[in-house]
Structures are given as C-alpha cells and as structure tokens.
Amino acid sequence: MNSFAERLVRWQRDHGRHDLPWQCDDPYRVWLSEIMLQQTQVATVIPYYQRFTESFPTVAALAAAPLDDVLSHWAGLGYYSRARNLHKAAKMVVERFGGLFPQDAAALAELPGVGRSTAAAIAGFCFAERTAILDGNVKRVLTRWAGVDGFPGEKRVETKLWDLASNLLPKQAADMPAYTQGMMDLGATLCTRSKPLCAACPLRDDCRAHIEGRQGELPTRKPKKAIPERDTVMLLIEHDGRILLQQRPPTGIWGGLWSLPETERGRDVAAVCRDRYGVVAGAQEAQETLVHTFTHFRLTITPIAVRATAMVTSIHEDGQRWFSKVEALRAGIPTPVRKLLLRTAQVG
C-alpha cells in the first residue's frame, strides 16, 4: 500500500479543492486567508478576503492603513484580536523584514497571531517546507485514521497528534503544497464531523475509525462546562439624527471597535447620560433583549433607546463620537451592535 502522504497527495491533485481565491504562492494572501479561516468557515471568509485584498492588496498597504479601517473590514468575522494582530504583523513584516515574509515556519511563528500550525501552512504552501500543520480539520482526520482517543485540545493528546502529523509528511518537499492542502480538504469535504464520506476517502483501507465503526466517537468531544452568563445595558443615545458610539479599549473583547455606551442594570439612565456621556436624556424606551454567545460566555444585552434633548458638554474626546446611522453601520462595530442598530432604526 502506498504511504499516507502519497495517497493524500494523489487524491488532492485529482479531487481536492483548486478554486479557492487564496490558492497561490503569495505568502501575504496565504497568511491573510489562514488568519481569517481560524474558527471560521470558508464560505463566510471568501467575501471578507475579497474585500480585504481589494482595499489592502499588499502587506505594505495593510501596514499603512489605520487600525480603524482594518477593524471596519473585519467587523462581523468575530475574534477581533485576530484583526489587531493582523495589523501588528503587517507592520512587523514591513519594518523588520523589509516587506518580505520570512521563508521558514520558525520565523513566521514570531509574527503576532501566527501560531505553529498557521506558520507551517504558510511555509508549506509558499516555500515547500516539510513541516506539519494541525488545525481542527487535520486533528479530526488524524484522530480517526490512527484511532487516537481523548479530547484533541488536551495537551497530552495534542502532543501525540503533533508527533503523528510530523511523521506522516511526504518525503519530497515539492509535494508539500498538495499535501498541506490535501489535509485541509479531506477534513473539510470528506472526513466531516457528521456523516463522513468514507467510501470516497483515500485513507479508508487503514483508517482505524472506519475499520472499527468509530467515526461517530472520534475525535473525542470536549467535556461540557456550564457557560458563564453576563449582562449589560446598552444605550442607543440619539441626538439630531445621530447616534453616540464609544471606542472600546485596544485590548479585550471588541478591542478597538466602536460600540454603544454601556451601563449596569438598575442604574439611573438619565444620570449616566448626563455624568458619563454629557447629554440630557429625554424619552427612554427599553427594548427587547439580545443574547450574544462568545466562546467562553453568554452576554445578555438590554438596549435602551434614549432621545437626547441637549448637550451638557462637548464629548468629542475620550473615544466618544456622534455618527450618522449610515456612518455607524460602516464603522468597525461588533455584530450585536450592528443588529441593534438595524433593529431599532431605519437607516436612510
């Protein structure tokens, strides 16, 4: 029987994906796609990738762009630290490496937001380096093929999978782009979470999960934990057809994005508007709550529409700004804020 790598390379060349917009040997575009694809599906990423490459066609253009522009292009993809790191990494490539990406995985992994697997993917696709990747699709393929028990996110299991992935690489460096793409394609199109298409799989003859009928058991699921609950009140403060937004701190959830002013449940909204945001609150209307689920907690948002009748002070400083509704929707804003703006206001 041909080796694992030989079968996978042949299958990818004959049956794998060949029409994705980032399939090229340009490390900028490969890097951009790899960052976007972290925890995000291909179909979701494609329009974002296309807008990004139109607005920022080179790493130098991305490095020179204001962070606000980068975040506005990213808004809706989630995990906003990825966008902030993307911007930092672009600046590093320009300033430290003269605008050229390093050509080995070890150096690529020094870029902000680039982990071991992402660095290996860039090096494998663009520079044919013999180095293993281990994203979610690859973990699923390997745990099934080798019959590896245990949750892949557990350190002991992950170390075992890295060793396995490194030992299965093709002998010829020239095969690395097809092999790396093949690992991704197999997990995305055949070795899927549910109802894997084992009959079409080039690895089925010696796949332990297929032989033993354990496709539904592997990979082992993550142990369930109760999701913490948080809540906040968001204020939709309008004055003369404009809405007040506040820029979040540069780190943390929604770091650097424009968001609605917030306060705690039970606080006097009029006092908060006056003392914190410099406006006299007129009519107030509590609206239907919105629940937004993050990776590690669930946030319940209570929106309150506030009609401001007068300004107490100028609030163009301290990260607060008035936007027209059109401008607000074009800015870098979190998904739940966008939903609230669309839900509560007609945009003209």
pLDDT over threshold 80, residue 64? yes
Q: Domain ends where: 184, 212, 240?
A: 212
117 and 26, same structural domain?
yes
152 and 92, same structural domain?
yes
**304: closest CA among 324, 291, 290?**
290
Q: Are 209 and 144 in contact (CB under 8 A)?
A: yes
Q: Are 278 and 311 in contact (CB under 8 A)?
A: yes
How long a stretch of residues is the chain? 348
182 and 107, same structural domain?
yes
Is 264 a known active-site residue?
no
In a domain, 308, yes or no: yes
Q: Mean per-residue pLDDT for 67-73?
A: 94
Q: Mean per-residue pLDDT for 319-336?
A: 92
69 and 206, same structural domain?
yes
Q: Are 27 and 124 in contact (CB under 8 A)?
A: no
DSSP 198: G
What integer pLDDT is reported at residue 314 of this predicted model? Answer: 60
Q: Are 322 and 311 in contact (CB under 8 A)?
A: no
Q: Mean per-residue pLDDT for 301-317?
A: 82
In a domain, 219, yes or no: no
Strand partners, 259: 246
What integer pLDDT is reported at residue 345 of this predicted model? Answer: 53
Active-site option among 6, 34, 158, 288: 34
Quick: pLDDT tens for 136-169: 999 999 999 999 999 999 999 999 999 999 999 9
Q: Which domain holds residue 147?
A: 4-212
Q: Domain ends where: 177, 212, 247?
A: 212
CATH of the domain at 99: 1.10.340.30
3-state secondary structure of 174: helix
Q: Are 126 and 169 in contact (CB under 8 A)?
A: no
pLDDT band with cut points at 50, 70 and 90 for residue 180? very high
pLDDT band with cut points at 50, 70 and 90 for residue 250? confident
- Please provide the average confidence, as pLDDT, over all residues in the chain: 94
246 and 149, same structural domain?
no
What integer pLDDT is reported at residue 318 of this predicted model? Answer: 66
30 and 176, same structural domain?
yes
In a domain, 220, yes or no: no
pTM above 0.85, yes or no: no
CATH of the domain at 264: 3.90.79.10
